[in-house]
């Protein structure tokens, strides 16, 4: 699971969970992969991200990479920042571990890089 996916995932499907976001990452195995830098794609995705969730996720997997606390203005022209974001969003992959619901502490396992967000029949 890449951190860009984490930024979009919630546990709001669980009964009585309101936000379910951001999910806490417990990373047992993290892998770095090489992905071609696509400036345009990263710039397009940034406005859709939840910045707090991103810094939280980066912290969880130990890739803080001195991200600023808030998204700075004029990020489109800041190549360093874009490359850093590219790395954190697309190149850091959680292979094994789990995602934890912030409200119920329900854990969603990640295995072989694939999160399992299925709820049990008693939770829906």
Partner 1 sequence: MMAATSTMCTQTTRRYLLWCANEHIEFRLPELESIALMFNIPITWIDKPKEDPYVILEMNSENDARKLMSRSMLVRSCFELWGQGENEAELHASVKSFPNNLMKPHLAKEKTFKVRVESFNKTLSISEKLKKIESLSFLPFEGSVNLKKADTCLHLIEYYGLQPNEVPIIPFKSFLGRWVVEGQRELIDKFSLKRRTYIGSTSMDAQLAFIMSNCAQVQPGHVVVDPFVGTGSILVSAAHCGAYVWGWDIDYLTLHARTKPTRHSQKQRQAGESIFSNLKQYGLEHQYVDVVVMDNARPCWRGVPYVDAIITDPPYGIRESIECVGSLKVPKDFEDGSKQQSSSAHHFPSKITYSLSDIFRDLINFAAIHLVIGGRLVFWLPVFREDYHESMIPSHPCLELLFNSEQVLTVHSSRRLVTFCKTRHPQEGETATAQVTDLTASFREKFFQASLMTKQERASMKSRFPRDKRGQGLGYRLLEAQNNAKIIKMDDVPESETINRDERQTISQEPNTDIEDLSCLEETAETDGLRKVQRNNTDSEKEENFKDAKNKSVTP
Strand order in the sheet with 92-100: 24-32, 92-100, 107-111
Q: Does 96 bind partner 1 (CB under 8 A)?
A: no
Shortest distance, position 67 Cβ to partner 1, whole Å: 19
Interaction between residue 83 and partner 1 (CB under 8 A)? no
- Minimal distance, residue 78 CB to partner 1, in Å: 19
Contact 67/49 with Cβ under 8 angstroms? no
Mark 85-121 as b/e (b = at least 16 C-beta within 10 Å). bbbbbbbbbbebbbbbbbeeebebebeebebeeeeee
Question: At its nearest, how many Å lie between partner 1 and the CB of residue 41?
Answer: 4
The residue from 28, 29, 44, 83 that contacts partner 1 (CB under 8 A) is: 44
Tokens of 123: 């939770």
- Per CB under 8 A, residues contacting partner 1 are 1-2, 4-5, 7-13, 20-21, 35-36, 38, 40-41, 44-45, 48, 50, 90, 98, 106-107, 109, 111-124
């Amino acid at each position: 699971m890449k951190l860009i996916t984490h930024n979009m995932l919630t546990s709001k499907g669980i009964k009585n969970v309101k936000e379910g976001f951001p999910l806490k990452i417990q990373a047992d195995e993290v892998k770095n992969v090489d992905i071609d830098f696509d400036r345009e794609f990263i710039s397009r995705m940034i406005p859709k991200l939840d910045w707090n969730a991103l810094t939280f996720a980066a912290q969880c997997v130990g890739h803080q990479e001195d991200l600023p606390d808030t998204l700075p203005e004029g990020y489109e022209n800041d190549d360093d920042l874009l490359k850093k974001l590219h790395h954190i969003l697309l190149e850091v992959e959680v292979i094994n571990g789990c995602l934890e619901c912030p409200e119920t502490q329900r854990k969603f396992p990640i295995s072989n890089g694939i999160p399992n967000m299925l709820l049990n029949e008693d939770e829906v």
